[in-house]
Amino acid sequence: MIKIVVPATSANVGPGFDCLGVALSLYNTFYIEEIEEGFEFEGCEDKFKNDKNLVAKSMAYFFKNEAPDFVPSGYRIKFESDIPVSRGLGSSAACIVAGIIAANHFSGIGLKKDALLRIATEIEGHPDNVAPALFGNMTIALCNNIGELSMDIVDISEDIKFCALIPDFRLSTEKARSVLPDSISYKDAVFNISRAAMLISSLSSGNTELLKYACDDRLHQPYRSTLIPEFETVVDIAYSYGAHGVFLSGAGPTVMTVISGSLNNFIDDIEPNLVNLQYKWHAKVLQCDKKGAQLNILE
Q: What is the pLDDT of residue 253?
A: 96
H/E stretch holding 152 reads strand 149-154
Q: Which helix (H) or strand (E) holds 257?
A: strand 255-260
pLDDT by residue, tens only, the chain of 299 residues? 999 999 999 999 999 999 999 999 999 999 999 988 888 899 887 787 887 899 999 999 999 999 888 888 888 999 999 999 989 999 999 999 999 999 999 999 999 999 999 999 999 988 999 999 999 999 999 887 767 899 999 999 999 999 999 999 998 888 999 999 999 999 999 999 999 999 999 999 999 999 999 999 999 999 999 999 999 999 999 999 999 999 999 999 999 999 987 666 888 889 999 988 999 899 999 999 999 999 999 87
Domains of the chain, start order: 2-154+289-297 (3.30.230.10), 160-286 (3.30.70.890)
Residue among 255, 42, 250 nearest 130 (CA): 250
The H-or-E segment that residue 179 falls in is none
Residue list, annotated binding site: 84-94
CB burial of residue 26 (10 Å; 0-12, 13-18, 19+): buried
Residue 144 burial by Cβ neighbours in a 10 Å radius (0-12, 13-18, 19+): exposed
Cβ burial of 185 (10 Å; 0-12, 13-18, 19+) is exposed
Q: What is the per-residue pLDDT for 123?
A: 95
CA distance 15 to 9: 16
Residues placed in the known binding site for ATP:
84-94
